[in-house]
């Protein structure tokens, strides 16, 4: 069964006639639809997001719960000191540690040479040479 329709969208309040034909054996029916749009409506932007507190009894690690001072400097592992608000619960802690050690043994996803090349290209772009 084929459904065909022809619709023209309008930017203001209007009535449209749309032809729907379900099959060649059924007569066409005319349906009036109303389309309303608001020219003055702008989408609202999200200005802030507040995450819910961690559920009571949730398994957390000490590194995930502690927070850093606002004046501390960034370092490679500074993300570990941030408060984690949404933590999954892992039933088998030994298996979790095994997986984490396996992931740590892999090479980095982005190599240092790639990062340096990106920095060079960004510097060229900032100087208008891109």
The pLDDT tens digits of the residues spanning 20-44 come to 444 445 554 555 555 555 556 677 7
- Does the structure show a pLDDT above 60 at 84? yes
pLDDT at position 73, please? 82
Mark 112-128 as b/e (b = at least 16 C-beta within 10 Å). eeeeeeeeeeeeeeeee
d(CA 130, CA 47): 33
Q: Specify the higher pLDDT residue, 122 or 22.
A: 122
pLDDT tens figures, 85-109:
888 999 999 999 999 999 999 988 8
What residue ranges do the domains of the chain occupy?
Answer: 4-35, 59-87, 90-130
pLDDT at position 3, please? 46
The model's pTM is 0.27
């Amino acid at each position: 069964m084929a459904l065909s329709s022809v619709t023209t969208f309008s930017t203001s309040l209007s009535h449209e006639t749309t032809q729907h034909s379900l099959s060649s054996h059924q007569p066409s029916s005319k349906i009036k639809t109303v389309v309303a749009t608001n020219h003055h409506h702008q989408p609202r932007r999200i200005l802030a997001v507040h995450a819910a507190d961690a559920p009571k009894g949730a398994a957390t690690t000490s590194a995930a719960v502690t927070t850093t001072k606002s004046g501390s400097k960034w370092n490679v592992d500074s993300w570990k000191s941030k408060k984690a608000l949404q933590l999954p619960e892992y039933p088998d802690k030994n298996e979790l540690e095994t997986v984490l050690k396996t992931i740590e043994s892999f090479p980095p996803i982005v190599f240092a040479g790639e990062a340096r090349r990106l920095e060079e290209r960004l510097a060229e772009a900032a100087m208008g040479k891109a």
